[in-house]
Structure 1
Amino acid sequence: MKTYAVFSHLFPHSYRAKIMAVMLVCIALPMLALVAWLASNNDAAPERILLGIGIGLAATLVGTVVALLLVYHLLQPLRRAVAALDDYEGQRVLPRLVPHELGQDEMSRLLNGIQRVLHNVDGARRHLEQYALEDPLTEAMNRRGCTNALNASVEEARTGRTPFTLFVVDLDNLKTINDEHGHAAGDFALVSLVRIARECCLGERDWIGRWGGDEFVLGMHADPDIALDRMRVWIEVLSRPVDGMRPVHVSVGAAAWRPGLEAGQLYRMADAVMYQAKFAGGRRVLVHEAQDEDSEIASPRRA
């Protein structure tokens, strides 16, 4: 890029001028010098003429090699553009191809255009990814996002031996809120539920998602007792009418990850005790407890 920068100061608006200047200086000038020398020494001795021709041809050959090297370096921005496209395709790395102060020739405009298009494409891709993984109403994860987050959390717990607790939550009285106060109040309750979870019980590595309808899934990277304490705080805040929100009552099933459990097994364990909590009257948290390392279905306990 240094060679391109030097020539950009000399010919800031034309890439063709850069190439033509290289060819003229390195190849044409030695040939013109040879012709001029021969014209002015046409009566010289043959040995002198042959020596002059040899020197001129050698200079032309050297100039050709230098021209090829300079053209190779002048094409460095194009090679960088190709590498940038490969990097973005393979690793989603956004490039900074060329500083704006290097000029506005065809190559500079091409590089800036590639860079601008890649940034626009990346922004659109990120927006689509967010839309594909986010529930549009609550701005929590949607079911696909929950599945990805659950798999990642279980993998983190497996490789790092860090605690992880999964909660499956079902609203007990969303239908009542909708029937008595309208669907706008129900939507407000769902949005507030997510906001309050993020404010009072979720850490930086924790997450919440809307599994579907009035069922939510929360993942907490914390010891089960600490996670349960946070869940109780969340449930307590939800049960109070705050900022115009109707009291929300929930049934919660909890399951702590242990070695050997897959993401699907962990979800089924938490989901099973959530339904037991709901069938027992709701407004409670039940925790899945394994009888032994191989059992997947176990007797719940109330938290």
Structure 2
Amino acid sequence: MTSGTERPEHDHDVYRTLVESTKAIPWTIDWATMRFTYIGPQIETLLGWTPESWVTVQDWVERMHPDDRERVVGFCVAQSQAGTDHEADYRAMTRDGDYVWIRDVVHVVRGEDGAVRSLVGFMFDIRDRKRSEEQLAQLQARLEELSYQDGLTGVANRRMFDAVLEREWNEARRAGQPLSLIMLDIDYFKQYNDHYGHLQGDECLRRVAQALLSASTRGRDFLGRFGGEEFVMVLPDTDAPSAMRVAQRCRDVILEQGIVHEGSRVGGTLTVSVGVATQRPTEEGTAFDLIARVDKRLYAAKQLGRNRIVSEAVPEVERA
């Protein structure tokens, strides 16, 4: 029979065996000296560092990814000083120089006077959880991307256009720079669909979209499908003459496609009508003002016979 004096030691051994048989890695730190008083042997299996190599808090700090160090150390120290239990996720360095995602769950032990005496915690391997979170984040990002993409042509959709135009309008207003908008409409597209069928019409829209992408050479320029057979381009920091040149390139690249259109009333190949508007945003105006102006010029291009560009810089460009 075990005596009463032997039981505490026996209980301690049982507790230690139970703790060290789990995947969680237990540890304790003396607050006054900032030294580890214990760390479970599982640490060597996970990170390769022996328990004996964890001497002070500095060992913990130095074995943390540099990008996580300032954030995690600052947070944990502040919480510990306040006597608040806490947890933190970070990347811990293995002995081979790789990194493993760790979650540290920390309990602050206080004395009778309320002062912090020690920290007791558990390290958890959360690699699988982080991997799942990253995959979920990638999936969400892809879904978000798709929500801003026109499913037929692959260019941005109207929702994305609205967001980009609002952003560029605010930036142009802040910088005092001009902002230009180009709106294009495929001439007699209903007749194209009626004559060749909707499948061929879809292919036509894809070809037009890809051709228009090649007309812009600057990274910030934006192309989107406005709706139906209409496309729109946002040109930041672009004055009226420069926007006119881009519009001409757009019209030219469509003509170069040589897409046969027997139902067109302006020739035997596919053409576009184009409106161009430029504005220097002010506090009083809105992005909708610019849309209204470019839409008015697109309408004028159609009224003047289609296959042409109407711009503020050049009121009318005769069709080729």
TM-score normalised over the length of structure 1: 0.63
Determine which of 136, 146, 153 is the counterpart of 1:121.
136
- Unaligned 5+ segments in structure 2 are 1-19, 40-53, 65-70, 76-88, 104-121, 262-268
C-alpha displacement of 1:105: 9.2
Maintained 8 Å contact 1:98/1:108: no
Identical aligned pairs, as a percentage? 24
Find the counterpart in structure 1 of residue 248 from structure 2.
232
Find the counterpart in structure 2 of residue 223 from structure 1.
239
Which has a greater percent of helix? 1
C-alpha displacement of 1:176: 2.1
C-alpha displacement of 1:130: 0.8
Query: In the superposition, relative to structure 1, how do residues 199 and 96 fare at CA in structure 2: closer, same or farther (>3 Å)?
Result: farther
Find the counterpart in structure 2 of residue 146 from structure 1.
161
C-alpha displacement of 1:245: 6.6
The 5 Å alignment of 1:97-246 reads 97-99=91-93, 101=98, 110-221=125-236, 222-242=238-258
1:249 aligns with 2:271: yes
C-alpha displacement of 1:63: 9.3
Deviations 1:4-58 (A, max 9, x none): xxxxxxxx99655653xx59xx9xxxxxxxxxxxxxxxxxxxxxxxxxxxxxxxx
Maintained 8 Å contact 1:134/1:142: yes
Maintained 8 Å contact 1:169/1:251: yes
Query: In the superposition, relative to structure 1, how do residues 111 and 283 fare at CA in structure 2: closer, same or farther (>3 Å)?
Result: same
Query: In the superposition, relative to structure 1, how do residues 75 and 210 fare at CA in structure 2: closer, same or farther (>3 Å)?
Result: same
Query: In the superposition, relative to structure 1, how do residues 102 and 189 fare at CA in structure 2: closer, same or farther (>3 Å)?
Result: closer
CA distance in 2, matches of 1:68, 1:226: 70
Determine which of 253, 270, 291 is the counterpart of 2:294.
270
Query: In the superposition, relative to structure 1, how do residues 116 and 270 fare at CA in structure 2: closer, same or farther (>3 Å)?
Result: same
C-alpha displacement of 1:288: 4.0
Maintained 8 Å contact 1:165/1:257: yes
Maintained 8 Å contact 2:221/2:235: yes
Query: In the superposition, relative to structure 1, how do residues 245 and 123 fare at CA in structure 2: closer, same or farther (>3 Å)?
Result: farther
Find the counterpart in structure 2 of residue 287 from structure 1.
311
CA distance in 2, matches of 1:277, 1:137: 26
CA distance in 2, matches of 1:75, 1:127: 37
Amino acid at match of 2:200: A
SS of 1:205's equivalent? coil
Maintained 8 Å contact 2:208/2:254: yes
Maintained 8 Å contact 2:180/2:243: yes
1:302 aligns with 2:272: no
Maintained 8 Å contact 2:91/2:102: no
Maintained 8 Å contact 1:252/1:284: yes
Find the counterpart in structure 2 of residue 58 from structure 1.
none
Amino acid at match of 1:285: I
Amino acid at match of 1:301: P
**Number of paired residues?**
231
Query: In the superposition, relative to structure 1, how do residues 155 and 282 fare at CA in structure 2: closer, same or farther (>3 Å)?
Result: same
Amino acid at match of 1:228: M
SS of 1:200's equivalent? coil
Amino acid at match of 1:302: E
C-alpha displacement of 1:164: 2.1
CA distance in 2, matches of 1:234, 1:203: 14
SS of 1:131's equivalent? helix
CA distance in 2, matches of 1:253, 1:159: 26
Find the counterpart in structure 1 of residue 13 from structure 2.
none
Deviations 1:66-90 (A, max 9, x none): 539989959988x95xx8xxxxxxx
Query: In the superposition, relative to structure 1, how do residues 102 and 128 fare at CA in structure 2: closer, same or farther (>3 Å)?
Result: closer
SS of 1:167's equivalent? strand
Query: In the superposition, relative to structure 1, how do residues 64 and 231 fare at CA in structure 2: closer, same or farther (>3 Å)?
Result: closer
Deviations 1:147-197 (A, max 9, x none): 011111212211223332101222112122212222222112211112111
TM-score normalised over the length of structure 2: 0.60
